[in-house]
Chain A
């Protein structure tokens, strides 16, 4: 049933070319973490060294920025995880007045340009005279990631078999017990992937953070600021470590969830 033109083989090659192109800048990032630049600019290859891996935390301001990013991402993941789970569960489980409006609000928050969300938040904070810093950044990050968590959880909740709840009720479980003993374990993987998504969105965000940070430096903001004065190789090392950690985590969770899928 394949097209006889042999297009599939051509497309296969093309797919790999595109993947190579996507990976090329990542390879550059990894490579230049091993570079031994003489001046301030880590732009041309000048020799192999491992010293930046030893001195990865030597730049205090950069390390501080990374820590700030991590703390904000954890706070965002927890808050957006809790609020998004509530929304996702309610939207998947019940029909209620206002659900349509909420869906619209969530959709608008997902589809709006980050630039506009960031600048409008700055407008609000400026008008209120509110201080900018880690708190305003976290508020912003929860705002743009909560809908994603809700969407992920809702997608899982709508596929729940209602007879499970009925069975639990028949066995005398209260609504509360049914939720924690039956429903929650089933939707937990969706909640966790929503939480991880919120964490990833938060730690990588540049645009909205740029508007809501004031003088606070996060990892992406610090990198952005240093493009003018020359990017130190430590940034490449940190980028490589985050990349490796993320890939490892993704591969591990995928392997772990595979046998379960087969059993189901």
Chain B
């Protein structure tokens, strides 16, 4: 009796949560896949016809936005690596007893609602806002200069939104490096630059990959930044999917686009997970 209870207990504990994930994560994905292969409209209803043409049509109609999103996402991730690595490095190696305080400061934006944060960021970039107005007054910028509505504004917004997600995983990876390894490199007459290049950087790479994963996926599929900071020239795929779902009720097209986006992103994610394991991502998520 006791043994039966013991072998059963993990299953009983896992069942409610697992079922919830299955019903509201896995099943919806299947529903969306089915919806993406349906034909019809909101008035007369949708029928499953295995209509693969939805994919062909929607991708060819919105390939510009799809590719633009992937490009913006990729640029965002690269900029983030460049911006975040030195900070993560400094906190990990020179932060001393104040490490926790610095990390807390990096995380401060998370105490403000994501949408509100982006709106505040827009106020900073706005044509005659707190940032550009003084520069224009001083004659450092032409009077008709504007950032809002450009790709730069959207990417800057994405970079701002996701910066902590790049700093943290790189910090975690750097923090785990045994200082004796670096010392050993120095004892073997490696210059500071060489020991960074040959020892520290390779050991930090899993953190960089985790950071890319945690920023590329949300940046590519984001539509808050492109909606609030961009223009019709910077429309991203998220805006299209959102509009098709919520305004046009063209569920098959929206589903096909959403599924395409996820497939593209998840291929990357699972390739990463296979190659390097999911440990780092989970660890960062647990922080």
Residue positions of A touching B, CB distance < 8 A:
1-5, 8, 11-12, 14-15, 18-19, 21-26, 28-29, 32, 43-45, 82-84, 86-87, 89-91, 93-94, 96, 98-99, 102-103, 105-117, 119-124, 126-127, 139-140, 142-143, 146-148, 150-152, 155, 175, 200, 203-204, 206-207, 210-211, 219-220, 223-224, 227, 231, 235-236, 239, 242-243, 246-247, 250, 254
Contacts and interface: CB of A to CB of B under 8 A. Distances in A.
A157 to B, nearest CB: 11
Give the most central of A2, A111, A236: most B CB within 10 Å. Answer: A111
Nearest to A26: B112
Interface residues on B, range: 35 or more
B11 A96 contact: yes
A140 B24 CA distance: 7
Contacts, number: 262
Contact of B221 (A86, A94, A116): A116
Nearest to A8: B94
9 contacts: A1-B183, A96-B7, A109-B21, A111-B217, A115-B261, A150-B17, A206-B114, A210-B246, A242-B112
Interface stretch (B59-67, B99-107, B139-147, B201-209): B99-107
Contact of A107 (B15, B18, B262, B278): B278
Contacts of A5: 192
B245 to A, nearest CB: 6
A120 B31 contact: yes
Given A105-B18, A119-B241, A227-B119, A26 B273 contact: no
A56 B228 CA distance: 25
B21 A147 contact: yes
Given A8-B90, A22-B106, A119 B255 contact: yes
A220 B17 CA distance: 27
Tell me whether chain A's interface is mostly helix, strand or loop, or mixed. helix
A113 B112 contact: no
Contacts of A22: 105-106, 108-109, 160, 163-164
B112 A239 contact: yes
A53 B189 CA distance: 62
Given A96-B11, A114-B221, A139-B24, A28 B130 contact: yes
Contacts of B222: 115
Given A115-B242, A126-B251, 4 more contacts: A29-B116, A43-B129, A113-B265, A143-B24
A15 B86 contact: yes
B29 interface: yes
A224 B246 CA distance: 14
B25 A109 contact: yes
Nearest to A42: B123
6 closest cross-chain pairs (CB), A and B: A3-B192, A83-B17, A25-B120, A113-B221, A120-B28, A86-B13
Nearest to B89: A11
A25 B117 contact: yes
Contacts of A91: 14
B117 A26 contact: yes
A105 B124 contact: no
Contacts of B14: 86-87, 90-91, 96, 98, 102
B45 to A, nearest CB: 11
Interface string B29-43: 101101100000000
B50 interface: no
Interface string B259-286: 1011001100100010000100111011
Given A25-B109, A206-B114, A223-B113, A143 B213 contact: no
Contact of B90 (A11, A25, A28, A83): A11
B10 to A, nearest CB: 4
B108 A26 contact: yes
A108 B25 CA distance: 9
Given A115-B258, A122-B245, A247-B111, A32 B265 contact: no
B238 A231 contact: no
Contact of A86 (B16, B26, B179, B245): B16
Interface string B183-203: 100100000110010000000
A83 B20 contact: yes
Given A86-B17, A90-B10, A102-B14, A211 B120 contact: no
Given A126-B251, A143-B25, A44 B86 contact: no
